[in-house]
Structure 1
Amino acid sequence: MGISIAICELDSDESLCKEGKLNILKARLEDVSEYRRCADYDEVISADDAKREMGDEWEAFLKRNRLGSERENFLLSKMKNEEDIKRLRELAYREYSGWIDLNCLSPEEAKTVRELAGEDNLLNEWNVIPMDETNAICKRCAMSWDKGRGCIGNFGPNNSLLPGIADKYECSIVASIPELAETGRKLSPEEAKQLSEECKVLREKLPEEGKSPVRRYSGVVDRLETVADLCASKGVRLYFL
């Protein structure tokens, strides 16, 4: 297990992903019975029902739809032949995924569903953008502090010796990084300024710890200082996870 450095990118209007991340498209519930009209579903047909309907055409049906005979059921959306889909649709049943389209609901219903789902069961506009596009957006974003790779970067393993070294030189924030990763507490922009100062101290003191710590932790200190300076200048919080 390792520890990562992250920022609260939505604290800044300069974040190119902010609008997309705040635009919640769907929410997931265990029970969609009250919202079926707006719930996502797959049309599924059992292999037995399909086989009975197709009769002597069964093998040809499997071949033209590129389906395996060992399957217990089939998704109509995965079938290739439109005539077969039309023929089997009346025999299919709906299998709900739990995702509900919030745009299909009234504002009051959407608010209720979001609250029932919780933050971990929401799908936003940013989530559905292809990865190559999000990577390109991140590269040109002011909040992308990790050399254009995004707003989350690597700190190191849980057993990193850097916090212990930091404690030796009274660099309290760096010393507490393992604890911060456990609690998820967000550091304020003011604390980011302190973190930046601690990085300057550590850069000066690391050579006193020997060549190995310099090689191992100089890059980590650089990353910490970069993200700390960004957060301090932009008024953005940061955290470890």
Structure 2
Amino acid sequence: MGINIALCETEAEKAPCRSLKMEVRRARTDAAGFDDYMIYEEKVSLDDARNVFPDFEGFLKRNRINAETDAVYMDKVKKDEDREALSKYVKKTATGWIDLTRMDAATKEKALKAAGPDDRTTAWDDLDFDSMNKMCSECPLSWDKGRGCMGTFGPATSKLPEIARKYGCPIIGATFENAAAMKKLTPEDAKAVLKEVEILKPALEKEGKMAVHRYMGPLERIEPRPRSPPSTAADSISSEENTGESGQALNRAVRPPMFSSGAAGLAAARRSAP
């Protein structure tokens, strides 16, 4: 099992992605009472599409559709003439996802209670990857040179915690225990972690080239990034929001990966969204 370090970005009120990640737009649930908000997808079977387009490969190429698709999803068909040719073969099927943006507050609250935490997509999920990457690269909270809110600490076989304990660094030394307990570090803990990094970087040199090669990366990810002159909304986040030269690591947690069915669900929601 790999261990990841995660930033509690939704607890920093001025984090540029916070409002997007807090805005739940869709949820997946089998509960009754939400039929009026159901999201449907329009698709054409591969057999029907091949009958309409004898040069099926050419159809896929000009519309940039993955050749391994299980059906032709109409929102992926870019050419108007192709959409028209397929129109009489279109079938609408319920995705199991419901649109929360069309609900009043009371109905939305019921829907969120009916859907599990992994069965939701947010306004952040609706961004394209270029927009996500741009926001992360400009955010002073981001791990690993602006790559996002999750950073790799290392595998469960990492010797870094053992080395940390050897040099009197108890928090990094307890990484595996913290991960198992899903412990969230306090701002005071995070300040102590930065001091532990200062101790461990020269300690790795003493431990040899292999230790430097394997474990310097995780330590560098924990360190704050150099701040550039304020030029974006992200740069307006103050040190009180756990950023800045000495506070960037505040409000960070050590935890194992928490990715489950979200990727498949997100793909379905994006594909079927109105």
TM-score range, shorter chain: 0.7 to 0.9
Aligned counterpart, 2:148: 150
Out of 45, 54, 64, the residue aligned to residue 63 of structure 1 is 54
Count of aligned pairs between the two proteins: 224
TM-score, L = length of structure 1: 0.79
Partner of 1:203: 201
Instruction: Provide the residue aligned with 2:255 in structure 1.
Output: 240
Summarize deviations over 1:194-231 as a string: whole Å, max 9, x none. Answer: 1112222222433332332233323322322338x849
Change in CA separation of 1:159 and 1:10 when aligned onto 2, cut-off 3 Å: same
Over 3 Å counting, the alpha-carbon distance change for 1:46 and 1:137 in structure 2 is: closer
The match for 1:4 is: 4
Q: Quote the sequence identity (%).
A: 33
Query: In the alignment, residue 191 of structure 1 is paired with which amino acid?
Result: D
| 1:117 counterpart (90, 115, 118) | 115
Q: CA deviation at 1:41?
A: 1.1
TM-score by length of 2: 0.70
**CA 1:163–1:128 in 2, change beyond 3 Å: closer, same or farther?**
same
2:255 is matched by which residue type in structure 1?
F
Structure having the higher Rg = 1
Q: Could you tell me whether the CA contact under 8 Å between 1:180 and 1:239 is conserved in 2?
A: yes
3-state SS of paired residue (2:151): strand
Which residue does the alignment assign to 1:172? 170
Q: Secondary structure at the match of 1:213?
A: helix
Distance 1:221 1:45, change over 3 A: closer
> Residue in 1 aligned with 2:84?
82
Across the aligned residues of Structure 1 and Structure 2, the Cα RMSD in angstroms comes to: 3.1
Unaligned runs of 5+ in 1: 52-57
2:261 match: none
Shift in alpha-carbon separation, 1:209–1:109, aligned structure 2, 3 A: same
Closer/same/farther in 2, CA of residues 220 and 83 from structure 1, 3 Å limit: closer
Give the deviation of 1:9 after TM superposition.
0.7
Is the CA contact (8 Å cut-off) linking 1:206 and 1:214 kept in structure 2? yes
Q: Are the equivalent residues in 1 in contact too, given 2:74–2:83 (CA < 8 A)?
A: no
- The structure whose residues are more often helix, as a share, is 1
> More displaced, 130-139 or 203-212?
203-212
Query: 1:160, 1:43 → 2: CA distance?
Result: 48
Determine the structure 1 residue equivalent to 2:216.
218
Cross-structure match for 1:28 = 28
The 1:77–1:225 alpha-carbon spacing in structure 2 relative to 1, beyond 3 Å, is: closer
Question: Which residue type is aligned with residue 179 of structure 1?
Answer: E
Alignment match, 2:159:
161
In 2, distance between residues paired with 1:207 and 1:108?
A: 59
Helix, strand or coil for the counterpart of 1:167?
A: helix
Work out whether residues 11 and 237 of structure 1, in 8 Å CA contact, stay in contact via their aligned partners in 2: no
CA contact (8 A) 2:224 2:247 kept: no
Q: Secondary structure of 1:239's match?
A: strand
